[in-house]
Structure 1
Amino acid sequence: MSNNTIVIVAGEASGDILGAGLMRALLKQQPGLNFEGIGGSQMIALGFKSLVPIERLSVMGLVEVLGCLPELLLLRRRLIKRYTQQPPLAMVGIDAPDFNLVLETQLKASNIPTVHYVSPSVWAWREDRVFTVAKACHRVLALLPFELPYYDRHQIPATFVGHPLADVIPGVLTQTQARQDLQLKDQPVLALLPGSRAMEVKQLAPDFLVAAAILQTQNPNLQLVLAVANQQREQQLNALLQGHPHLKVTLVLGQSHLVLAAADAVLVASGTATLEALLFEKPMLVCYRLSPISYRLFKRKLKISFVSLPNLLAGEKIVEELLQDQVQPQLIADHLEVLLFNQVAAEKQRSQFANIHQQLACGADISAAEAVIEVIAEHGEDITRVGKT
């Protein structure tokens, strides 16, 4: 391996976005840098060398992980061996804490600068992981402002960088343009975002579709737009739609931002998509469901009153959350009816979302790159001199 390589290990599609933004900002500082590890299509388009497909790390739920555990452990051992034998300039783990923190710990012990991008949810559950983070990395890059006090309390170096999505959403994309692009009428639009992972779609999409059918029966002019993360989810959702032959719905592959821009309200799985909906200032209903065993295990250690990012960022309940057994089609439909057709309720959410947006728009890609450069410099390297003789 050349001495100008930065290793990045991203855990899923949202990590691919963060990794690509970080790469662009670092390459502006030093065009001669190389990047490898595990990443997705956006990182690969910038010249990233992904040793395995990013999907190998995209596993949710405690029970679900068990089936993939041997493969994940083998992969991690392979990475540890590769990078301890051929040390890179630095290693940046993006999210995927159960995988990345152990990897970072091993590389840090070999005197390789390590950065963890996206704070593990120590504020939500398993706060004891803060000590694991301390052993694993030289710096934590936090996307959310309320995360820093947890690290300050334990004297762990952490930097709030803001969220990259807050810097680019909504951009120039307007609702009118989005509807034109999707060939939608100037009538109410409900966006359905059941998640990007197979298990999320399995757990949520059937109830999302039944709820959508209830709403469309009550409101025949309601347009339904279903955001599809990838071709695998497209096949999964098309199979489910065969059970709803009368449902009028538009499937949109790989363009969730276009779907959100077009919407009047959003039905969304808890996760990064809730932040995207917030940044587009779209009234939303958040749902989530795990397998019963996984949910019981998570609930025992859960320390917070909310699970969705809008509520966590606000520090209070500003969007409704339906979790586990609460995910019922009629209840979903009732909540969405209000968001779609009660302008006072919808405008209240939009105003709260706009305030949060301002807090998060901090030039995250550049801030993250500067933090990585600082960590590398603390270990005696100046990336502006890398590769020069």
Structure 2
Amino acid sequence: MSSRAAPFIVLVAGEASGDNLGAQLIDALRARLPQARFAGIAGPRMIAAGCEPWERAEELALMGLFEIVPHLPRLLRIRRRLRARVLEQRPDVYIGVDAKEFNLRLAPVIKAHGIPTVQYVSPQVWAWRQGRVRTIGRAVDLILCLLPFEKPFYDAHGVPAVFVGHPLADRIPLHLDPYEARDALGLVRQQICIGLLPGSRRGEVARLAPPFAATVKWLLERRPQLQFIAAPANEPARRILTAALAEAGVAERVRLADGQAQQVMAAADVLLLASGTATLEAALVKRPMVVAYRLGWPTSFLLKTLQLFRAPFFAQPNLLAGRQIVPEYFNRQVRAEVLGPALLAQLERADREQLMQTFTDMHGMLRRDASASAAAAIVALIDDGTECEAHGERRA
């Protein structure tokens, strides 16, 4: 155990999903290290769990290769402040909770000063820019993987990694009643329901809200009896989505349930959603879905031109299944005349029971008490670092 009476742990998270993971990890670490102190870049859930916020997690909620450029001066200032504070206070471990681009640029400096470094949530290095695996190996002492196929990839490159399972699989019940969810959301029990989840980042929502709204209009022109519900992740997402729905003339037909993504998933017969963790959550809720992914044109051009993306799919259910079990659409395909028919096809798919079984199998595979498993691996790393110090060694 750390030589300190109260181990000091720094965590750095970005956006809502990282904040959720970080809060659960803090609780699991405190169960093992009751006197531990936590600080770093935190969102509201991590702060409520007892993390001292040096900066706010929302400051790191960006995506895309080129879309981040206008924000670089601010991000660099945050990184300089964080680096100085970490090196001055020398925590027992530095944990990057998602926010891969930010954390993996800072981690090598911290590791070089003898502070153990962990990345909780692997970058999609197996999917694109695979050469980064060598850089990652030099930057961190341990990768905590949420998906089972990630560990073998790191093993093959000699990078220490542990598959801990996914916290969502631990938290989501094996069965969620759609009628209970519809009652809670004020929806009609017997009326077909389509759920909309256009993401959480502003840029992502701005790119997806207009085609999602156009898809609602397309569907209503053919199935006027459908009911729709959307779950804006935050206030900026709500404003963007509301404007897009109004522009399409369908605002009155879409009920909004702010921040209630899982309830919306449970209520829906089929989902139209942004690519990302939400697709895994939808699979764990056991709902058919249509997945959309749109990037800004500079990032899209670079990915296509340099052939940086290597994975066969981008939707997590498809990656886990090793085949396409839900439809996924990218950039120019993300338009109403594509998404609308795809949603109707999901409503009518003949293999729905088989799909539900596939989702159930995924749930079992990922349910490993992830936060506790991650905490155990981190405590072992701290103990290892303490032993090195006791023998006068310096961690490489």
TM-score of Structure 1 vs Structure 2, range by shorter chain: over 0.9
Match of 1:31 in 2: 34
Out of 352, 360, 375, the residue aligned to residue 369 of structure 1 is 375
Distance 1:250 1:218 in 2: 19
Indicate whether 1:227 and 2:231 are aligned: yes
| 8 Å contact from structure 1 (residues 162, 364) kept in 2 | yes
Give secondary structure in 1 for the equivalent of 2:135. Answer: helix
* Change over 3 Å in CA distance of 1:246–1:152 after alignment to 2: closer
Q: Secondary structure at the match of 1:52?
A: strand
> 1:162-186 CA deviation, whole Å, 9 max, x = no partner?
0000011136742121111101112
Residue 359 of structure 1 is matched in structure 2 by 365
How far apart in 1 are the matches of 2:384 and 2:284?
Answer: 35
**1:304 equivalent in structure 2:** 311
Residue 378 of structure 1 aligns with an amino acid whose one-letter code is D
- Runs of at least 5 residues in structure 1 that lack an aligned partner in the other structure: 383-389
Within 5 Å, give how 1:118-267 maps onto structure 2: 118-170=121-173, 173-186=176-189, 187-247=191-251, 248-267=253-272
1:100 and 2:106 correspond: no
Residue 47 (structure 2) aligns with:
44
Which residue in the other structure is 1:385 paired with?
Answer: none
Tell me the equivalent position of 1:322.
329
Match of 2:391 in 1: none
Is the CA contact (8 Å cut-off) linking 2:176 and 2:285 kept in structure 1? no
CA offsets 1:39-79 (integer angstroms, 9 cap, x no match):
11111111111222211111111111110111111211111
Q: How many angstroms does 1:214 deviate by?
A: 1.5
Equivalent pair of 1:117/1:141 in contact (CA under 8 Å): yes
User: Whole-Å Cα distance in 2 between the matches of residues 46 and 172 of structure 1?
Assistant: 28
For the residues of structure 2 that align with 1:45 and 1:2, how far apart are their CA atoms? 23
Q: CA deviation at 1:4?
A: 2.5
Amino acid in the other structure paired with 1:12: E
- Secondary structure in structure 1 of the residue aligned to 2:328: strand
Distance 1:20 1:30 in 2: 15
Instruction: Check conservation: 1:339, 1:345, Cα contact below 8 A.
Output: no
Q: C-alpha offsets along residues 329-362 of structure 1, whole Å, 9 cap, x if unaligned? A: 011000101112x152433322221111111111
Q: Which amino acid aligns with 1:282?
A: R
- 1:92 Cα deviation after fit: 0.4
**Separation in 1 of the partners of 2:78 and 2:107?**
14
CA contact 2:175–2:285 (8 Å) conserved in 1: no
The SS at the match of 1:179 is helix
Q: How has the CA–CA distance of structure 1 residues 41 and 2 changed in structure 2, closer, same or farther, with 3 Å as cutoff?
A: farther
Q: CA deviation at 1:2?
A: 8.9
Distance 1:353 1:132 in 2: 34
For the residue of structure 1 that corresponds to 2:55, the secondary structure is: coil
Q: Which residue of 1 aligns with 2:77?
A: 74
- How far apart, CA to CA, are the structure 1 residues paired with 2:167 and 2:243? 34
Deviation string, structure 1 residues 120-150 (Cα, Å, up to 9, x no partner): 1110111111111111111100000101111
Letter in 2 for 1:273: A
Distance 1:261 1:381, change over 3 A: farther
Q: What is aligned with 1:293?
A: 298
Query: 1:5 pairs with 8, 13, 19, which one?
Result: 8
Q: Helix, strand or coil for the counterpart of 1:62?
A: coil
1:30 shift after superposition? 2.0
Q: 1:282 & 1:254 partners in 2: Cα distance? A: 18
For 1:337, which of 344, 352, 355 is the aligned residue?
Answer: 344
Per the TM alignment, residue 243 of structure 1 is displaced from its structure 2 partner at its CA by: 1.4
Q: Please tell me whether the aligned partners of residues 194 and 269 of structure 1 are also in contact (alpha carbons under 8 angstroms).
A: yes
**Matched residues, percent identical?**
45
What is the SS of the residue equivalent to 1:127? coil
CA contact (8 A) 1:338 1:345 kept: no
Q: Residue 289 of structure 2 aligns with which residue?
A: 284
